[in-house]
Amino acid sequence: MAAVTQAPYRVPVETRGRSRTRVVDRKPRPHEVVQLWITRLVLWVACAAVLLPLLFIVSASFTAGDAFFSGSLIPRPFTLSNYAKVLTETKYLTWLKNTVIVALITGTIQVINTSLSAYAFARLRFRLRRVGLIGLLLLQMFPTFLNLPALYLLFLKLDLIDSLVGIGLIMVTGNAFNIWVMKGFIDGLPIELDEAAKVDGATDFQVFTRIILPLSAPMLAVQFLWAVVGVFNEYLLSSVLIQSPDKMIMGPGLQNFIVNQFSAHWTQFAAAAVLTSVPLVALWLYLQRYIVSGLAGALKG
């Protein structure tokens, strides 16, 4: 225990932009040592509760389809056949292709839509600016999925059922929440940069493309990620508006494995889930810093 108490313990504390440090440069008193170990115990239990289900899925993905699940974490017999089957015998790759196409188009258009609007709201002055900002907030109260019955009937009439274009149209729609987050981010960029550029004769649009966009790169990446993950998570609308297996995107597609209540499908689902999640989780963790700070900024208004 003595070894744990040697160094001073520093907890960085951020207050109103200035960084302060809460220094605890003393040995923990006996009751604090007890507290520390109780803290550790609770955190270990919490970590186990997070990791165990993930390990179960990974383990199932490497287990032969007819194996009996005993709650063991080691896949016996070990096999890669689930991954092979998912890739060759199911429509997984079709769903992945559909999802990635819709996701990339959605992400690109969303980023353009959001950054243009956010720039206008943050830096330009115009008559309907306040009305527009509040209007966006109010619009957010009527989420798209509430329109499902109407969208279904409309898509039926427009012949957009079973079409990725239809789903794409819904997904690229300007997103009020994203615009607010992005506006908050641009508000935080120093306006002096804009002014300096304008003194040098830059137009508003040049300020946008040469100053605001490069400085917003991390936030743009977050917005792109949100749009992509949004397509991977989409189920409610696409399960109604898309019906043939060849046009499905990931959510309704993966559900096909689960609906058939056989353990053989479960191991294949696990493989598909791992294949789908790993790249998205990696991307998320890479951008984590900006996601957390962006949300915190949005919450402050």
Partner 1 sequence: MNVLPSAGVSRPPVRSRRPWWQGAVPYLYLSPALLTIALMQVFPVGYTIYVAFTNYNLNNFANPRFIGLENFREIITGRLLREMAPAFGWTITFAVLGTLLAFSVGLVLAVLLSNPFLREGAIYRGILILPWALPGTVAILAWSGLLNDGYGQINGLLTRLFGPEAAVPWLTNPTMAKVSVLLVNTWLGFPFMMSLCLGALQSIPPELYEAAEIDGASSWKQFWHITLPILTSFSLPLLISTFSYNFNNFGAVFLLTGGGPPVPGRTYAGATDLLISVAYKLTQQYFQWGLGAATSIILFFIVGTLSLLQFKLSGTFREVR
| Burial (Cβ within 10 Å: 0-12, 13-18, ≥19) of residue 184 | buried
Work out the number of other CB atoms within 10 angstroms of the CB of residue 167. Answer: 24
Task: Provide CB contacts within 8 A for 71, sequence distance 6+.
Answer: none
Q: Judged by CB, which is closer to partner 1: 36, or 202?
A: 36
Shortest Å distance, C-beta 71 to partner 1? 3
Contact pattern for partner 1 over residues 172 through 211, marking x by CB under 8 A: xxx----x------------------------x---x---
Contact pattern for partner 1 over residues 32 through 71, marking x by CB under 8 A: x--xx--xx-xx--xx-xxx-xx-xx-xx--------xxx
Residues in region 119-138 near partner 1 by CB under 8 A: 119-120, 124-130, 132-134, 137
Residues in region 73-102 near partner 1 by CB under 8 A: none
Q: Judged by CB, which is closer to partner 1: 215, or 291?
A: 291
| 117 part of the interface to partner 1, by CB under 8 A | yes
Q: Judged by CB, which is closer to partner 1: 127, or 200?
A: 127
Judged by DSSP in three states, 65 sits in coil
Residues in region 137-166 near partner 1 by CB under 8 A: 137, 139-154
Shortest Å distance, C-beta 85 to partner 1? 16
Shortest Å distance, C-beta 290 to partner 1? 12
Q: Closest by alpha carbon to 24, among 12, 15, 41?
A: 12
| 72 part of the interface to partner 1, by CB under 8 A | yes
Distances (CA, A) of 214 to 10, 16, 113, 196, 289: 34, 26, 16, 16, 18
Q: Which position has the token pair 């899925």?
A: 57
Q: Which string of b and e fits 42-65 if b means at least 16 CB within 10 Å?
A: eeeeeeeeeeeeeeebbbbbbbeb
Residues in region 233-272 near partner 1 by CB under 8 A: 233-236, 239-240, 250-251, 254-255, 258, 261-263, 266, 269-270
| 12 part of the interface to partner 1, by CB under 8 A | yes
What are the counts of helices (DSSP H) followed by strands (DSSP E) for the chain?
14, 2
Q: Closest by alpha carbon to 160, among 252, 240, 246?
A: 240
Q: What angle do CA 140, 142, 145 make, to 5 degrees?
A: 110
Q: Site for partner 1 (CB under 8 A): which residue of 14, 89, 192, 200?
A: 14
| 24 part of the interface to partner 1, by CB under 8 A | yes
Of all residues in the chain, what percent are helix, strand and coil, respectively (each to 5)?
70, 5, 25
Shortest Å distance, C-beta 193 to partner 1? 18
